[in-house]
A = this chain, B = another copy of it.
Amino acid sequence: MTAAAQTAKKLDLGNAVELVSKEEGHRQPLAPEFVSLEDFSPLEVAYDFGKISRAEIEAGPRSIWRYKQLLPVPSNVDRIANTEPGCTRLLEADNLAKALGVKKIWIKDDTGNPTHSFKDRVVAVALAAAREFGFKVLACPSTGNLANAVAAAAARAGWDSVVLVPKSLERAKILMSAVYDGSLLAVDGNYDDVNRLATELAGDHEDWAFVNVNVRPYYSEGSKTLAYEVAEQLGWRIPEQIVVPIASGSQLTKVYKGFNELGQVGLVEPSPVKIFGAQASGCSPVATAFKENNDVVQPVKPDTIARSLAIGAPADGPYVLDVVRKTGGAIEDVTDEEVREGIKLLARTEGIFAETAGGVTVANAKKLIEAGQIDPDAETVLLITGDGLKTLDAVQDSIGPKATVEPTTDSVNQALGL
């Protein structure tokens, strides 16, 4: 019996009761496993929620832990040192709505998280569950945001971390992963090599929790908090339309799950939400399958500036297709040039500097509006999941000072045409 299994005997994972396979619904006890051995589909956490009130949530902490009853985490999760992610801004984006010719847009701005991406949410949930399972080391393969979030969360919790990145990673991402002083390892290989290595290591080290491998069912539940927050910030209701970027596809399916759960437990009046997926054309396997009306997602070799979305074989691709079709949404993709324009459009209209993934979301929203797939008379929420300071390279050639001037008022007035 592994250390993890021994600890699992006295598990407190809140209202979570078991794991269920996504394909055939096979049930098994809560454990650090991620694939069903019955049907080889991903495992997902199932709950017995009981009664949850708005008042309890509203009286909770200003972090994702206000929703702890809806997550696979122990009841004392908010009293153990953690990064306290979540409760980020939901901004009414009237300038952007006007620019795009629609009635109402909301921006969910996850750049305000501790390491400036939504990954702080999923990592916090993964760490809380991993602690319950008896793991001692927090680990991940990553190309950026996840590396930052894992290294920071482990430091704050007093855990060791092992973060594996391709050695070719950009300087900013290396530095922000290294500063927390965990074990950051640069791997001589590409991201596929790093990912494969992580799966092998997860088998070898029984006290290492690879957040996106062996504790993935818990990790991915963290994305539901985006839906919970949007609904609460809208005054406890579900929005009419939402645009979500697609990497593995997990976030999109979990946002849908989150909205549904709120309806199920009576925290909101159930109402339809159209879910739209956003990809970059340089890595658009799910958009391609959607447009070809295909159920199979054909893997691709990524080539896009939106590196945080560059997963060529997205694990949750088929489930994304299912959610988007079921809700009456659509999936589009945009060129790298459109991604840059999306970043600039959001910054210019709303003062928010998003990473390339945010540019993908904004540019796809524009395209879907122009194509008539997003209803201009209904409201739309855009998920901005990461920060522009981490992907400066993507915009450096297309922005800069208006002019260089002499330190005189004449020179300034002339430069501004005054």
Q: Are A404 and B167 in contact (CB under 8 A)?
A: yes
With A404-B186, A412-B197 as known contacts, state yes or no: A155 contacts B350, CB within 8 Å: yes
With A92-B81, A175-B395, A175-B399 as known contacts, state yes or no: A180 contacts B351, CB within 8 Å: yes
Min CB distance A395 to B, Å, is 6
Q: Does A331 contact B (CB under 8 A)?
A: no
With A175-B399, A400-B178 as known contacts, state yes or no: A201 contacts B409, CB within 8 Å: yes
Q: Which of B87, B95, B174, B406 contacts A156 (CB 8 A)?
A: B95
The residue in chain B whose Cβ has the minimal distance to the Cβ of A115 is B353
**Would you give the 0/1 interface string for A182-201, flagging 1 where the beta carbon is closer than 8 Å to chain B?**
01111111000110110011
A146-192 CB contacts (< 8 Å) to partner B:
151-158, 162, 164-165, 167, 171-172, 174-176, 178-181, 183-189
Query: Which applies to chain A's interface (DSSP): helix, strand, loop or mixed?
Result: mixed
**What's the Cα separation between A188 and B387 when bound, in Å?**
30
A positions within 8 Å CB-CB of B: 62, 81, 83-84, 87, 89, 91-92, 94-95, 109, 111-116, 151-158, 162, 164-165, 167, 171-172, 174-176, 178-181, 183-189, 193-194, 196-197, 200-201, 204-205, 343-344, 347-353, 387-390, 392, 395-396, 399-409, 412-413, 415-416, 418
Hey, which chain B residues are within 8 Å of A407, CB to CB?
A: 187-189, 193-194, 196-197
The residue in chain B whose Cβ has the minimal distance to the Cβ of A152 is B351
Q: Are A392 and B92 in contact (CB under 8 A)?
A: no
**What's the Cα separation between A185 and B87 when bound, in Å?**
35
Hey, which chain B residues are within 8 Å of A179, CB to CB?
A: 343-344, 347-348, 353, 388, 395, 399
**What's the Cα separation between A353 and B116 when bound, in Å?**
11
Q: Are A409 and B343 in contact (CB under 8 A)?
A: no
**What's the Cα separation between A165 and B412 when bound, in Å?**
12
Top 10 A-B residue pairs of the complex, sorted by shortest distance between their CB atoms: A156-B351, A152-B351, A155-B351, A189-B407, A193-B407, A181-B348, A186-B401, A389-B389, A179-B347, A178-B399
Q: Are A87 and B114 in contact (CB under 8 A)?
A: no
30 examples of A-B residue contacts, CB within 8 angstroms: A62-B62, A62-B87, A84-B89, A89-B114, A115-B353, A151-B351, A152-B352, A153-B351, A155-B347, A165-B401, A171-B396, A174-B400, A175-B395, A175-B396, A175-B400, A176-B389, A179-B343, A179-B347, A179-B388, A179-B395, A179-B399, A180-B351, A185-B404, A186-B403, A187-B406, A189-B406, A194-B407, A200-B409, A204-B409, A389-B390
Hey, which chain B residues are within 8 Å of A409, CB to CB?
A: 197, 200-201, 204
